[in-house]
Amino acid sequence: MNKETRHDRDPHPSRKGVGNRFTTSWSETVPDTFSAPDTFSAPIYLDAGRTDDAIKMHEANLKQTESKLGPDHRDTLKSRMNLGAAYRAAGQLERAVPLLEQAVKGFRAMAGLDHPNTLTCEQLLADAYTAAVQCTRDNRKGVRNRFTTFWSETVPDTFS
């Protein structure tokens, strides 16, 4: 008797291809749009512990949004934030932190300090810094210096 665990099966088999059908029909209906990779399932995969699958989806989405929309477009910034969050969930902090720092800077420049996307991304970055401190107890000073430098460069008078 071989029992399937929660992570061995697709969490939502009925959703297979839903994202692709939507983005394909959208790109056919509205000119000058593109068909994004199926990122609708990525949060579901993260919740199910399938971080590798979610990361692959987010990486493909970021690559496509950067090439089609440019590095500073809000959808590219959201893609960068989502990929950083997926790396953070997978424990890949060395990859998560730079992406989240870039996204925070982009959101601040594009939308301001009080915009919900800016605040969400700042929270994700703070969580990644906290996890980095917990993972690198021997290197706390280095992580703290990176944190202090980032915030003091991007928000004047933060640590003065």
State the total domains in the chain.
1
In a domain, 11, yes or no: no
The answer to whether the pTM exceeds 0.85 is: no
Residue 12 within any structural domain of the chain: no
Q: What is the per-residue pLDDT for 21?
A: 44
Angle at CA 106, nearest 5°, toward 86 and 42? 20
Least confident of 37-41, 66-70, 124-128: 37-41
In tens, the pLDDT along 58-101 reads 999 999 999 999 999 999 999 999 999 999 999 999 999 999 99
List the CATH number of the domain containing 29: 1.25.40.10
Q: Is 159 part of a structural domain of the chain?
A: no
Q: Exposed, middle or buried: residue 105 (CB in 10 Å: 0-12, 13-18, 19+)?
A: middle
Span 115-122, average pLDDT: 94
Structural domain containing residue 48: 19-154
Whether residue 34 contacts residue 64, with contact meaning beta carbons closer than 8 Å, is answered with yes
Any domain includes 40? yes
- The torsion defined by the Cα of 37, 41, 45 and 50, in degrees rounded to 10, comes to -30
**Is residue 86 a part of any domain in this protein?**
yes
Q: Does residue 30 fall inside a structural domain?
A: yes
Residue 124 has pLDDT above 60, yes or no: yes
Distance CA 123, CA 56 (A): 23
Of 47-51, 65-69, 147-151, the one with minimum mean pLDDT is 147-151
Confidence check: pLDDT of 27 > 60: no
